[in-house]
Chains A and B, each alone.
Chain A
Amino acid sequence: MSDRTNITDIAEMAHAPAYNDDAANTGETRTLQIFRGDGEGGSLVPYEIELIEGMVVLDAVLKIQAEQAGDLAVRWNCKAAHCGSCSAEINGKPKLLCKSRVEEYDGQEIKVMPLQAFPVVKDLVSDVSWNYGVSAQIQPFNPGKEQAPFTMYEEDVERLYEPKKCIECFMCQDVCHVLRTHHKHPEFAGPRFFVRTQWLEMHPMDENNRLQFLKEGRGGVQYCNITKCCSEVCPVDIHITDNSIIPLKERVADEYYDPAKWLMRKIRGNRRNGSANGNGGTRASHKRAEIRTNG
């Protein structure tokens, strides 16, 4: 420790170390085409900015906002792909602006547009409030008479962590052709809400049944033709189609399309929630002796 230059001047010590940001200037410039306009229409406007090392498209947009177009509308919060605010379309594909590096588009144009499946408000902002309306129509979690703290084992809930990761960026909603091309908003809940319904349905403590909602109600799961665009865009890698939609479709099939299951239900006379064959009790409804082995 002897050779260390301990600073003794307190004034100097109170002075926060400066960052050498010049090192990050690449000296290059880059042009972004950004949609400017509102619900009535608009056009792509080119903006040129200095390129900074490691820049993401959101940085670029905010730089334009601070220096060239103060009223350029864009949503953002966390800048770290945690909150799902900054969704927009880059070159026709939904992206989180804070997670898309400008370098990724070397040699290509960068065209930034708002989400197209929802009404455009202004510039890069669309009105996504429809989604919250759908969310409100899904029956909430209902553990029946059980009171927390629950005894739930990791083995029973491990597959629920994946759908729970959703950051509600609504990019899957945007890219889903049932909404974007076919505008089935009134009859179709969209992948985001299948993800939510899936964990609710598979939750060991939940007692509600949302299969009717999915098949006949506003869920409209059969409109989904499992073409997986939603899975391709999910920023938190939820395998939406494989792990949420298809399992739900299978449960709907159990309930509505499987003659054998139908017969079994007739014979046994029980229409239990969650799994139609009375085979996968919820912890809340089946207070059986615990049959558990370690694994």
Chain B
Amino acid sequence: MIGAGGAGLRAAVAATERGLSVGVVTKSLLGKAHTVMAEGGIAASLGNVDPEDGWQTHFKDTMKSGKFINNWRMAEIFAKEAPDRVYELEQWGALFNRTPEGKISQRPFGAHTYRRLCHVGDRTGLELIRTMQEKVLATDTKVYMETTVTRLFQNDEGRVVGALAYTRETGKFIHFKAKAVVMATGGWGRIFKVTSNSWEGTGDGVMLAYHAGAELVDMEMMQFHPTGMVWPPGVRGLLVTEGVRGEGGLLKNSEGDRYMGNYDEERMELSSRDVVARANYTEVKEGRGSPHGGVYLDITHLGYDKIIQKLPTMHEQFLKLADIDISKEPMEVFPTVHYTMGGIKIDPETAASNVPGLFAAGEVAGGLHGANRLGGNSLSDLLVFGRRAGEGAAEYVKSNGYSTDIPESAVEEEKKRMLDPLQKQGEGENPYHLQQELQEVMMEHANLMRTGDSLKEGLGKVLALKDRLPNMKASGSTLFNPGWHAVQDVNNLVTISEVILRTALERTERRGAQWRLDFDGPDDDLGRVNFIVKEDAQGEVGIEKRDIPPMPEHLRRLFDENQDMSGGEKTGKESQF
């Protein structure tokens, strides 16, 4: 398993239960992956608070929010299995807030029809990852902490048979021989300057898979979370949980207007993330922003006691880091890059990619969320498809016999590639600076609202950066050397950026997270396709437009006759841009 977020750990448990010998590799310490930062909750239609809820509604909400380019089979499996995965967590010791009847309590969240998010205060992700971590520690699974995978090895048939990694604490390389690899490495928010992701969010997994020949899907879809912190600069991009709006937070501009009515009259602040993000963006762009370039999110009406009870982490975070007492003053917020809907294309049943022996789950996999992810759907995604990936891999290993040996030369070659930046003489590029430059380019050209010209200009800049990659140089040794590590990250980030820009150029419409200003509204034809990316024979980005198979009757029936299934949403001011 590569990755020790919720997805990687769940996969490890599944594979271990099937009698496999499992190793989990993670770039950080155990329990520090992005999953730990998730606050809001985990979406599953238990129907504890709203008994009308069921998998059908959850499925519908997920598809609608994904603007119907999601893989409907994934969404169906997901909505059906999520409740079991939540109960399973409880079985393993997770503790959620309770209803008066002693069941798991559920809270409302943006664009979920019913109250559906199982939560514990505002630290649900912590509960999830700690439970999984303790579960894994109680098995024989071997965990390799602070170990970064840099390449997948394939045998002559193209099967994935292992990986090369290096451990930070020792600076030594490890060659893992594995009959199957599950990729669960999370997203790639760090191509943007303002992001809620940590240094880990460099999309290693998606690039490892890409170079191994895997197909990627929906890469143009980057989720901007509407509310990230803006001030002081050190905390910019840090997430302000959607829970604030869930608990009644109001968005206001510098003129004191509660402007969400102009964008989505019905759902107001609790509209889907793409809509709220664009609203915030537009307000600031049109000159109604706060001095630090954000809008105001006001929760003061809740009162100190309620805030401390419901949003303790947020209260503390603002007080400590921004000197703002959110029970007295509004917060300043602006959209921040948060999640990557796209990723490795997988088979819904087994989570297998098109490369034999390579599986994927969690944020690194694409397809479930389509054009826009619903809040809380990620945590359940991790568990549902993490488990399937683990079982899929176990099944695959049991039914296939082959050697995991590869020529020593391949290993040596990869080591040499890795060590190169450390051995370079003379002047070289500083990887941190290259990363910063890339982030600025992406902020400028691939932001929330995009145009063809700007995307093209951005692509030019990224390609120019690509040419400079070989010049990167790091000082010091292989022992816990972040500079050296950054060199590897930048290589990945630049390629991902290129993929994103190219696919964004292809999707000439407005759909969910992809908002092309130079086109009006959604395009029905594009609503029936996904863009599939695959490295071509020359090592360039190959893009294929692939039709989405039609939804089977039993799912189609769930939607109203007169439901607009094109995924378009034209409300109020939105249509202008």
Contact = CB atoms under 8 A, between A and B. Distances in A.
A14 B448 CA distance: 8
Given A13-B285, A143-B91, A54 B137 contact: no
B481 A73 contact: yes
B235 A77 contact: no
Given A17-B281, A132-B137, 19 more contacts: A4-B286, A6-B576, A14-B450, A15-B444, A20-B293, A24-B231, A54-B231, A66-B436, A70-B483, A70-B486, A77-B34, A80-B235, A81-B317, A82-B36, A101-B320, A141-B92, A149-B90, A164-B126, A164-B127
Interface in B446-489: 447-451, 453-454, 474-477, 479-484, 486
A82 B483 contact: no
B91 A157 contact: no
Interface in B171-193: none
B138 interface: yes
B102 interface: yes
Interface string B10-40: 0000000000000000001111111011000
Interface stretch (B93-101, B243-251, B299-307, B524-532): B93-101
A129 interface: yes
B29 A75 contact: yes
B92 A19 contact: no
Nearest to A290: B102
19 contacts: A11-B451, A13-B517, A17-B293, A19-B293, A53-B232, A56-B321, A71-B476, A78-B37, A80-B239, A82-B36, A83-B37, A101-B321, A121-B479, A127-B169, A135-B134, A140-B134, A149-B104, A151-B101, A166-B130
B571 interface: no
A161 B120 contact: yes
A70 B486 CA distance: 9
Interface in A111-164: 121-123, 125, 127-129, 132, 135-136, 140-141, 143, 147-154, 157, 160-161, 164
A10 B37 contact: no
Given A56-B234, A65-B432, A152 B98 contact: yes
B236 A19 contact: yes
Contacts of A59: 234
B454 A11 contact: yes
A147 B322 contact: no
Contacts of A13: 285, 449, 517, 577
Nearest to A154: B98
Interface string A47-75: 00000111110010000011100111111
A76 interface: yes
B517 A10 contact: yes
B482 A65 contact: yes
Contact of B199 (A76, A150, A167): A76
Nearest to A141: B93
B211 interface: no
Interface of A: 1, 4-7, 10-21, 23-24, 38, 52-56, 59, 65-67, 70-85, 99, 101, 121-123, 125, 127-129, 132, 135-136, 140-141, 143, 147-154, 157, 160-161, 164-168, 199-200, 203, 206, 294
B90 to A, nearest CB: 4
B126 A82 contact: yes
B453 A11 contact: yes
A148 B31 contact: no
B28 A140 contact: no
B198 A149 contact: no
B482 A71 contact: yes
B143 to A, nearest CB: 7
Contacts of A161: 95, 120-121
Given A11-B451, A128-B29, A141-B93, A19 B230 contact: yes
B65 to A, nearest CB: 24
A75 B447 CA distance: 29
Nearest to A80: B238
Nearest first, the 9 A-B pairs at minimum CB distance are A54-B232, A70-B483, A71-B476, A141-B93, A66-B432, A73-B480, A77-B198, A10-B517, A148-B90
A89 B104 CA distance: 39
A53 B486 CA distance: 26
Contact of B323 (A54, A67, A127): A54
A18 B236 CA distance: 13
Nearest to A132: B30
A54 B321 contact: yes
A121 B480 contact: yes
Q: Which of A11, A13, A54, A154 gathers the greatest number of chain B CB atoms within 10 Å? A: A13
B200 interface: yes
Interface in B256-304: 262, 281, 284-289, 292-293
Contacts of A206: 93
A151 B145 contact: no
Contacts of A77: 28, 32-34, 36-37, 198-200
A167 B126 contact: yes
B482 A17 contact: no
A49 B486 CA distance: 21
Interface string B300-331: 00000000000001001100111100000000
Nearest to B450: A14
Nearest to A150: B90
B135 interface: yes
B77 interface: no
Contacts of B444: 15-16
B32 A83 contact: yes
A286 to B, nearest CB: 15
A10 B520 CA distance: 12
B11 to A, nearest CB: 19
Nearest to B33: A77
B161 to A, nearest CB: 28
Nearest to B230: A19
A164 B480 contact: no
B87 interface: yes
Given A17-B284, A121-B169, A148 B482 contact: no
Given A16-B443, A65-B483, A151-B102, A79 B238 contact: yes
